[in-house]
Amino acid sequence: MTEAVIEARALTRRFGAVRAVDGLDLEVPRGVIYGLLGPNGSGKSTAIRLFCGLLLPDAGEVRVLGERLPEGAEAVRRRIGYMTQRFSLYEDLTVRENLLFVARVYGLGAEGPARVEAALRAYGLAERAGQFAGTLSGGQKQRLALAAVTLHRPPLLFLDEPTAAVDPRSRRDFWERLFELADGGATLLVSTHYMDEAERCHRLAFLDRGRVVMEGEPRALIEALPVQVLEVDCARPRRAAAVLAATAGVRGVSQLGARLRVLLERDVAEPEAHLARSLTAAGLPPAAVERVRPGLEDVFVAHTEGRRP
């Protein structure tokens, strides 16, 4: 079972008193788009840097593409592409100059310029080739960055919040490219804090305070959810939220406009009536209570709520 391209065991990295990554276990199978989902500060970037050999762990171990880090770091570097969270190409070089630089650095030799031209076309940057990278829009910069890290055709790609500064349309286009790369046989590790993006991944891991709290295929995770999800329509949602949070069996309440989204333990029978009774008793009879299809966000809330201080 060495089909895993990334294997992390009890990986830990501290910064002073902060445990950015804290006993992380992860196994990423070959050929998938693997999502690393978690809120800001949950250790996504740190985990990726550990996988790329840019940071040394304080404890635990990592194997990437069969190589143990840090010993195999140099060998791994030739076979990975790392798209940093922040744009890390040269803003004072043109789009084409940036790609040519990357091609030379990876030793693509005579083949380099042809690959650069192909990448410019494939990523819709042909008309921008002579423009300084610093003057590109957010979406164009992301495409350039992706073109740069795939120029040497690595079998493993790390993408750290690749669509953070990108409008929804460009995001969709960007994900099209990621699927193409996966179809071509590459493995992609993508960090994100967007739930809709996470749902596009083949597999994903939820990160919370440096630990994997849950792992699996998005569908399976949702189906295995130990709670049921209801939406409550009521007059004074903030008051009602407080009442519901104190109701037996409720694992979490969040407000969506005028509605409340309630996570309720699965074994509560007649859940609509259960919540309606509780609200009516507090003098806040609800206009409607209905069961809804759970999403990934509910999975995340169900597993992290209650652990938070």
Ligand X SMILES: Nc1ncnc2c1ncn2[C@@H]1O[C@H](COP(=O)(O)OP(=O)(O)O)[C@@H](O)[C@H]1O
Q: Ramachandran region of residue 91, left (φ > 0), alpha (ψ -120 to 50) or beta?
A: alpha
Query: Tokens 């490219």 map to which residue?
Result: 177
User: Which two structure tokens, joined as six digits, stand for 272?
Assistant: 């609509």
Q: Residue 36 or residue 76: which is nearer to Mg ion going by CB?
A: 36
Q: Does 44 bind ligand X (CB under 6 A)?
A: yes
With contact defined as beta carbons under 8 Å apart, do 253 and 261 qualify? yes
Q: At what angle do helices 168-183 and 138-150 cross, to 10 degrees?
A: 10
How far apart, in Å, are the Cα atoms of 194 and each of 40, 128, 176, 177? 11, 29, 16, 18
State the binding partner of 15 from another protein, ligand X, Mg ion, none, CB within 5 to 8 A by kind: ligand X
The C-alpha atoms of residue 252 and residue 227 are separated, in whole angstroms, by 10
Name which of 180, 206, 182, 208 is nearest 195 in CA terms: 206
At its nearest, how many Å lie between another protein and the CB of residue 179?
23
Which partner from the list Mg ion, another protein, ligand X, none does 235 bind, CB cut-off 5 to 8 Å by kind? none
Which of 5, 20, 36, 84 binds another protein (CB under 8 A)? It is: 84
- How far apart (Å, rounded) are the C-alpha atoms in residues 198 and 206? 10
Is residue 59 near another protein by the rule CB under 8 A? no
Size, binding site for another protein by CB under 8 A: 32
Task: Rank residues 93 and 165 by Cβ distance to ligand X and give the closer one.
Answer: 165
40 binds ligand X (CB under 6 A): yes
Strand partners, 216: 204
Selection from another protein, ligand X, Mg ion, none that 92 binds (CB < 5 to 8 A by kind) is: another protein
Indicate which single residue of 11, 24, 43, 303 sits in contact with ligand X (rule: CB under 6 A). 43
Out of ligand X, another protein, Mg ion, none, which partner does residue 285 contact, by CB within 5 to 8 A per kind?
Answer: none
- Does residue 308 bind ligand X (CB under 6 A)? no
Element (H, E) at 81: strand 80-83
Distance in Å, CB of 98 to another protein, minimum: 9
Q: Which of 176, 137, 145, 182 is nearest to 161 (CA)?
A: 145
**173 to 202, contacts with ligand X by CB under 6 A?**
none
Report how far residue 305's alpha carbon sits from residue 288's, in angstroms, rounded to the nearest whole number: 25
Here's the x/- map for another protein, 114-153, by CB under 8 A: it reads as: ----------------------------------xx----
- Regarding 255 and contact with another protein (CB under 8 A), the answer is no
Which parts of this chain interact with another protein (CB under 8 A)?
49, 52-56, 73-74, 77-78, 80-82, 84, 86-93, 97, 101-102, 104-107, 109, 148-149
Contacting positions for ligand X (CB under 6 A): 15, 18, 20, 38, 40-46
